[in-house]
Each structure stands twice: as C-alpha cells, then as structure tokens.
Structure 1
Amino acid sequence: MDNQTGTFLSKSLANVQLDVSIAAYTKVPMSWNDEDYTTDFNKLYFIKEGEGYVKVNNETFYPKPGELYLLPSGSVQSYGTINKNTFGKYWCHFTAKIGDLHLFQLMKTPVFIKPNHIELEEKFQQLIMYIHSDHLSSTFRVHSILLEIIAIFIEKSHQVHYKMNVSPSFEKLDAILAYIEEHLDGNVTVGTLAQMANFHPNYFISVFKNFTGSSPIQYINRRKIEKAKELLVVSERTVSAISESVGMELSYFSRMFKDLTGLSPTSFRELAAKSQIKPK
C-alpha cells in the first residue's frame, strides 16, 4: 500500500459511521445454530468459555476461550454447538460504513485474533453497560468503545488487505486526493476534480463528502493550511512567500489560517519556536 493510499484510507476511516444494534453476554443453549446465511451487519464474538464452531464463507473455525472473532456483513456464515459445554461469549452486532460502503468491504482482516483478554473483557462490559444506559453521553461512549475494539482487532491482525477496487468512486477519489496533494500550490477547482472523476459537480461534492467528511473546498483549504504549518515550522520563508507557495493571496491565507488554527501565521510560528511543536 503506497503512502497516498494509506492517507486516503486513514481519512476515510476517520469518517466511519457506526451503528450498534445490540451487545450482550450469553451462555448459548444447545439449540444455538444456523447454516449458510448472510447478514447486513457485522458480528463480534469474544469467547470466554465452552466449545462450538463458526463458519465464514468456506472456512470452519472452532473458537477457543480468549479469541475474538469478527464475522463481516455479506459473508456466508454458519454457527452451532458441538456438545453440552456450549459457548459463553460476549457479542455485538454493528454496522460500520464509509459512505455507502461497508467498512469490511474495503478492508479484509483475519477472522479472529488473540487479544489481551482482560482488557477486552472490560471493554465489552463497558459496551454492554452503556448500550443499556439512557444517559445523554451513552451513544458517544458506545461508539468510542466499539472503535477501540475495532482498533485492537486491526492492530493485532497479522495481515490486513485493503480492497481499493470494490467501488469505482473509491478508486476515483484515491486518484483525486493524490492530484490535490500534487497541486497544493495552485487553484484546484471543484469543476476540475469533478471532470477527472467523470461526475456531475453536485454528485461529486456529495460523494467526496461521504468519504472524507468535508466538502472538496474545505478539504483543499485544510490541506493547504497543513502544508503552510509545516513550512512555518521547518523553514524561514516569509508568511507572504508561504501563502504564495500554497496558492493563496496573503489576506485570504491569513484569515483562513486563523479560522482553522485559532492563531495568525506569525503567532503560530512564534509558538512553535518556543515550544518546539511540530505541525499536525
């Protein structure tokens, strides 16, 4: 995976939309079984005890205590018991989408990992507690904990493959973000980008925002300011020269910089010099 693809994916992943339908701990009955079905949601199984099996597409697994399983939406699944010592498991059903695409359409992970079981059990217990809470902050807590569990799964996975070809829009936006990065010193217009994608401008804006969380102009301006922050820290160029290098008139650049950072370019440079901060 090249750097630009990684940048695009990280920006897209930051915009993932989550919906958790249920989370619980269950000691499954002997009747727990189903064969060759698909769902439009993802499932997490964290096995605490017992025996059984799960099948994902054409591969059968016999989960062991301490293993975390991810069964992605759209896969052909089966599950069942094999004796009276049935699974005791934490579990969760959820959707995770970027635009119109399911997250695990874009990302292929292993079916299971072996995480730190104490840490993960605590997270599932918190997830269950907050999903049954009516406190105003509970939805934020649920999403935050689920993101942590997904992050643990990705970090512990030996291989994660990114499937850039699952959506024509995804492939086109990957190229468009690369084009923006290469032309931060110029005047990149929505019309030009839409033409590159072969989309109507209004449709292009909608697709772009679905994947990045920003309109094209907002995204371009933020990238220009990020580049300017880097130049303010690592170079001795004047503010005027830096504004020119990111394709902005000085007055507009100064106003945009303050809107996005809360500081003028000069103040940012002075603060960076005093604190030795690096641009983010």
Structure 2
Amino acid sequence: MDAGMKTFWRSYLTGLQLHVAIAEYTKVPVTWNDDDYTPDVNKLYYIQEGEGYIKVGNRKLYPKPGDLCLMPADVVQSYGTVGASTYGKYWCHFTAKLNNLNLFQVLETPTIISVSDHQSLKSKFERLIHHHRSEEWTADLHVQAAFLEILALFLEQSEQVGIHTPASGSFEKMNVVLAYIEEHLSDNMTVDLLAQLVHFHPNYFIRMFKNTTGLSPIQYVNRKRMDKARQLLSFTSNSISGIAESLGMDATYFSRLFKEYTALSPSEYREISTK
C-alpha cells in the first residue's frame, strides 16, 4: 500500500464500527464440519495444534499451527477435520463495518498469515476471551481494545492488502482532500474550497465525504485540529493561545471546542498528559 493510500486509510478507519460476538478457545471434535454455508459474521482462527481444512470461496486451505486465518462474512465457506488430530484454536466471530459496508468487502486481505510473535498473539487472544466473559461494566471497552490489537496485527503482517471496491476513483479523490486537510490545519477551510479540489459540487461532495469518513467536512477538520492540539499540548511547551493560533482558531473558540471533544480544558489536558 503506497504512502498516499496509507494516509487515506489511517483517516478512514477511524469510522470503523466493531462488535465481537464471541471469543473462545476450542479443541474441536472429529465431527467439526460444515459445507457450503455463508456466515453473516467475520471469523478469525488462530491455530495452536492439530490439522484440518477451511474453504473460502473456491480455495481449500490447510492452516497449520501458528497460522492466523480470516474468513470474511458473506462468502461461501466450508470447514472440517482430516483425521483424529483435530484443531485446537483460539477463535472469534465479529462484525466490522465501514459506513454499512463489511470492512472485508472494501479491503482485500489474505486468508492465512504466518504470525511472527506467537506468544504475543496468544496473550492478546487470552485477554480478549477473558474480557468477553467478564461482567465488569468496562468489559466491552477492554474487548474492543484487545480485538483491535489482533486486527491491526493481522493487517500489518499481511503481505498484501488491496482495495476491492467499485468506488476506488472516489477513494482516490477523497485521499486528495484528506491529505490537503492534514497539511492546511491552520488555514480557513470551507466546504466550497475542499469540493473544488476534486471538482465536485459542494452538495455532492458533502455526501461523498460523509460516506467516506462518517463525518461532515467541518466535523472532520475540527477533529483533526483537536488531534493535533492534543499532540502539541502533550509534547511542546507552546502556549494555549499559540496552539490555537497555529490551528487557525481564536483562543476562546479553541478552548470551548477542545473541551467538547475531550471533556477537559486545554490546561487540564496538558497537566494530566504530562504527568
């Protein structure tokens, strides 16, 4: 994936909606088998022992211990055993939506990857399972955090990740806009200006932008400014008024908007983040 597309996906994935339906470790029985079914959830298998097969679309594969397998939703699949030495595996079922599209309708990934750090991934799955079973009121937050680590690892260690969408031209145009926003956070950016960058009518541009990022253009610009403000407050000694000016905002409006995004004033945030 080239640098421009990485910038696009870094922004686009902030709109990802995840739900982990189940997470477990199972030593499957010899009767573990199903043919030509179409799941409505994505599945991850992390194979620890044994042998068996999976079939995704027309490809029949034989994952081995140490392999991490992803089987996307809405694709015809099969699985089964090949002998008495059956799979022992960590596994989870999950949904991952980007603007009502399954993430893996948009991203084209391998079905199987070989993991480089088995102990680390095993620890992540155990943490995921522990929190999924937990009744603590914060359990869902921990589940999301643990699963995101697993998903990020799968994407990072995939040798090739492609874009699989008929709207790839629109993705490229949105990438132009997102890159411009990143480079001009201190400028006054209007919807008309951003729409002109890609030669779209402003009304069409607003719809396309929201379909891509889940936010209106102004909401997105403000969020990127607040992200930048958090970095500056944490890692520089710049004054709050100076930070506001560097983001093209007056200090009063900046402080109010920052508190809306973080529930803290800029000075409160700086005090906490620098401890």
Give the TM-score band, short-chain normalised. 0.7 to 0.9
Structure 1 contact 172–197 (Cα < 8 Å) conserved: no
Q: Tell me which residue corresponds to 2:133.
A: 132
Q: Tell me which residue corresponds to 1:253.
A: 250
Look at both structures and tell me which one has the larger radius of gyration over its CA atoms.
Answer: 1
Structure 1 contact 130–142 (Cα < 8 Å) conserved: yes
Bigger mean CA deviation after superposition, 145-154 or 158-167? 158-167
Aligned CA RMSD, in angstroms, stands at 3.7
Return the offset for 1:163.
Answer: 3.4
Bigger mean CA deviation after superposition, 136-145 or 213-222? 213-222
CA distance change for structure 1 residues 97 and 49 in 2, over 3 Å: closer, same or farther? same
Counterpart of 1:217, as a letter, is I
The 5 Å alignment of 1:45-194 reads 45-115=45-115, 116-163=117-164, 165-166=166-167, 170=171, 173-178=174-179, 180=181, 187-190=188-191
For residues 64-122 of structure 1, what are the alpha-carbon distances to aligned partners after superposition, in whole Å with 9 as ceiling and x for unaligned?
A: 11211111123332111111221111110001111122222222222112222222222
**2:250 match: secondary structure:** helix
CA distance change for structure 1 residues 10 and 165 in 2, over 3 Å: closer, same or farther? farther
Q: Tell me which residue corresponds to 1:220.
A: 221
For residues 256-276 of structure 1, what are the alpha-carbon distances to aligned partners after superposition, in whole Å with 9 as ceiling and x for unaligned?
A: 444439559xxx9xxxxxx9x
Return the offset for 1:217.
Answer: 1.0
In structure 2, distance between residues paired with 1:131 and 1:185? 43
Q: Percent identity?
A: 48
Return the offset for 1:153.
Answer: 1.1
Q: Tell me which residue corresponds to 2:262.
A: none
Return the offset for 1:254.
Answer: 3.0
Q: Tell me which residue corresponds to 1:11.
A: 11
Structure 2 contact 7–175 (Cα < 8 Å) conserved: no
Counterpart of 2:83, as a letter, is N
Counterpart of 2:110, as a letter, is P
In structure 2, distance between residues paired with 1:42 and 1:197? 37
For residues 216-268 of structure 1, what are the alpha-carbon distances to aligned partners after superposition, in whole Å with 9 as ceiling and x for unaligned?
A: 112224556749x98xx8xxxx96xx95x97x5xxx4333444439559xxx9
In structure 2, distance between residues paired with 1:39 and 1:166? 25
CA distance change for structure 1 residues 162 and 85 in 2, over 3 Å: closer, same or farther? same
In structure 1, distance between residues paired with 2:33 and 2:73? 18
In structure 2, distance between residues paired with 1:222 and 1:117? 36
Bigger mean CA deviation after superposition, 206-215 or 47-56? 206-215
CA distance change for structure 1 residues 13 and 224 in 2, over 3 Å: closer, same or farther? closer
CA distance change for structure 1 residues 170 and 82 in 2, over 3 Å: closer, same or farther? same
**2:21 match: secondary structure:** strand
CA distance change for structure 1 residues 129 and 207 in 2, over 3 Å: closer, same or farther? farther
In structure 1, distance between residues paired with 2:171 and 2:101? 9
Q: Tell me which residue corresponds to 1:278.
A: none
What is the TM-score normalised by the length of structure 1? Answer: 0.74
CA distance change for structure 1 residues 144 and 222 in 2, over 3 Å: closer, same or farther? closer
Bigger mean CA deviation after superposition, 147-156 or 206-215? 206-215
Aligned length: 256
Counterpart of 1:73, as a letter, is A
**2:15 match: secondary structure:** coil
Gaps of 5+ in 2: 260-264
In structure 2, distance between residues paired with 1:178 and 1:160? 21
Structure 2 contact 24–90 (Cα < 8 Å) conserved: yes
In structure 2, distance between residues paired with 1:197 and 1:97? 28
CA distance change for structure 1 residues 72 and 199 in 2, over 3 Å: closer, same or farther? farther
Bigger mean CA deviation after superposition, 79-88 or 34-43? 34-43
